Amino acid sequence: MWRKSNKTFHLSLVFVCILLNNLIVSTGLFIQELETISVIIDSDGAPDDVYAILYLLKHPRVSVRALTLSCGVSYVEEGATNFVKLLSHLGYEDIPVAAGKETPLVTNHTFPTPWRQGSYNFYGFDLPHTENKVSDLNASELIVSIVNSSPENITIVALGPLTNVALAIQSDPSIIGKIELLDIMGGAVNVPGNVGIESDIPNYEAEWNFYIDPHAVNTILTSDIPILLIPLDATNKVPITEEFKENLGQVKLTPEADITHQFLIPGLYFWDILAAVALTNIEVVTIQDFHLEVVLDKENHEGETVLIEGEPINARVAIDADRSAFETKFLEIINSVETTTPVTTSNDPTTSPDTTPAPTNTSSMELVVVVPTLGLIVLHINNKKRSLK
């Protein structure tokens, strides 16, 4: 009698497994063991950086090790303070934040002053006070420290001018071999730039991040670091629409989705967030391999991205984007109902070991899926993260 029941149980279990497998395949939902991506985010503190950072913080495969501020839309000290408050507000107190150099390597290029002044009050977004402080290390020092102390290679997601990253590799060239990938939002390869369109600067070839510090771009392009470049060629295909913002407002479930909704400005583009999503889901962009150079000192062409034929490839470049796939993945992560304890191991070398909390190595996420004929399904996924020690 027991044997018959046991056999029936096993047959039932096999049937359930087959049914679940068919469900996963038919809905395009695949659950697999994937490596965690250890990331340093180098941001210029712009409003569109915010939801790119939130996406990476929430993604179950990404471990954010540090956040640095480059000279860009935000003033670096104000931007660093803003992000310390944001991370504290969301429970990521132990991710160190460092301010970088306030000016580019060589030029005196800056974003328009009215844009930069918004960083004084975090563009109108009110955050509670925190006792946490900006790191005593500057941005390039923190990048070098994190890369050198990490047991695995580090991916750098650069969302602003490349000044901090260039200074880091200039100060310690040995870190080049320890950088897994440099994921850059910047440049305009086969499309016009946006500097002259958005300001009274008569440069219609360069994209803003490359224009601000072209010498930093040159340092990176000649460094042998693996590069994934997300230029205007791809970001022009993912505009922020009123419809997208309205839809997010109706379905937002998480603090990250709510903050994103507040920062979205219809009429602009998903510049930095496309770089973030392409890091975790490369299929949202179309890639071609190029050899790129940057114009350094030709008047009204500084920061122009130049494609050179017949030279060794130095960058994988997104030339197009799948808007629907991008929006779907972005919303899936930013609006996932998550029960996560952030990684609490301090990455800041200035933090005393005696006050470092014990690390956590697991997180879980509930993914809500609507399946035709079966209704609402909630999948609870446990994600193991590698220790940061």
Mean pLDDT, residues 305-321: 97
- State the average pLDDT over residues 129-158: 96
Which residue from 335, 232, 327 is spatially nearest to 281, judged by alpha carbons? Answer: 327
Whether residue 14 has pLDDT greater than 60: no
Q: What is the pLDDT of residue 75?
A: 87
Tell me the pLDDT tens digit for each residue of 15-72: 444 444 554 444 444 434 468 999 999 999 888 899 999 999 999 999 999 999 998 8
Please name the residue ranges forming H helices in 28-138.
47-58, 76-90, 113-117
Nearest CA to 333 among 281, 386, 290? Answer: 281
- Give 70-117 pLDDT, tens digit per residue: 988 888 899 999 999 999 999 999 999 999 999 999 999 998 888 767
Give the integer Cα–Cα distance in Å for 165 and 314.
17
The b-or-e profile of 290-300 (16+ CB within 10 A means b, else e) is bebbbbeeeee
Q: Is the pLDDT of residue 11 over 60?
A: no
Domain boundaries, the chain: 37-360
Q: Has domain 37-360 been given CATH number 3.90.245.10?
A: yes
- Give the per-residue pLDDT at 239: 98
Cα separation of 134 and 99, whole Å? 7
- Kindly report the average pLDDT of the chain as a whole number: 83
Of the candidates 303, 317, 52, 313, the one whose C-alpha atom is nearest the C-alpha of residue 161 is 303
Per-residue CA distances from 141 to 148, 175, 227 (Å): 11, 12, 21
Query: Model-level pTM greater than 0.95?
Result: no
Q: Determine the pLDDT at residue 365.
A: 45
pLDDT one-digit tens code per residue, 192-250:
999 999 899 999 999 999 999 999 999 999 999 999 999 999 999 999 999 999 999 99
Cα–Cα distance, 241 to 244 (Å, whole number):
5
pLDDT for the residue 276: 98
Using an 8 Å Cβ cutoff, are 201 and 299 in contact? no
3-state secondary structure of 36: coil
Range of weakest confidence among 116-120, 192-196, 353-357: 353-357
Q: Residue ranges of the alpha helices (H) in 265-354? A: 271-280, 323-334
Tokens of 219: 């340092």
> Average pLDDT of 309-335?
97
Q: Is the predicted pLDDT of residue 309 greater than 90, yes or no?
A: yes
In the predicted model, what is the mean pLDDT of residues 331-346? 65
Q: DSSP string spanning 116-149?
A: HHGGGGGGG------S----SS-HHHHHHHHHHH
